[in-house]
Chain A
Amino acid sequence: AQSVSQHNHHVILSEAASLELGCNYSYGGTVNLFWYVQYPGQHLQLLLKYFSGDPLVKGIKGFEAEFIKSKFSFNLRKPSVQWSDTAEYFCAVMISGGYQKVTFGIGTKLQVIP
Chain B
Amino acid sequence: KQEVTQIPAALSVPEGENLVLNCSFTDSAIYNLQWFRQDPGKGLTSLLLIQSSQREQTSGRLNASLDKSSGRSTLYIAASQPGDSATYLCAASPNSGYALNFGKGTSLLVTP
Decide if A and B are genuine partners.
no
* Residues of A that sit less than 8 Å from B by CB: none
Binding site for A on B (CB under 8 A): none
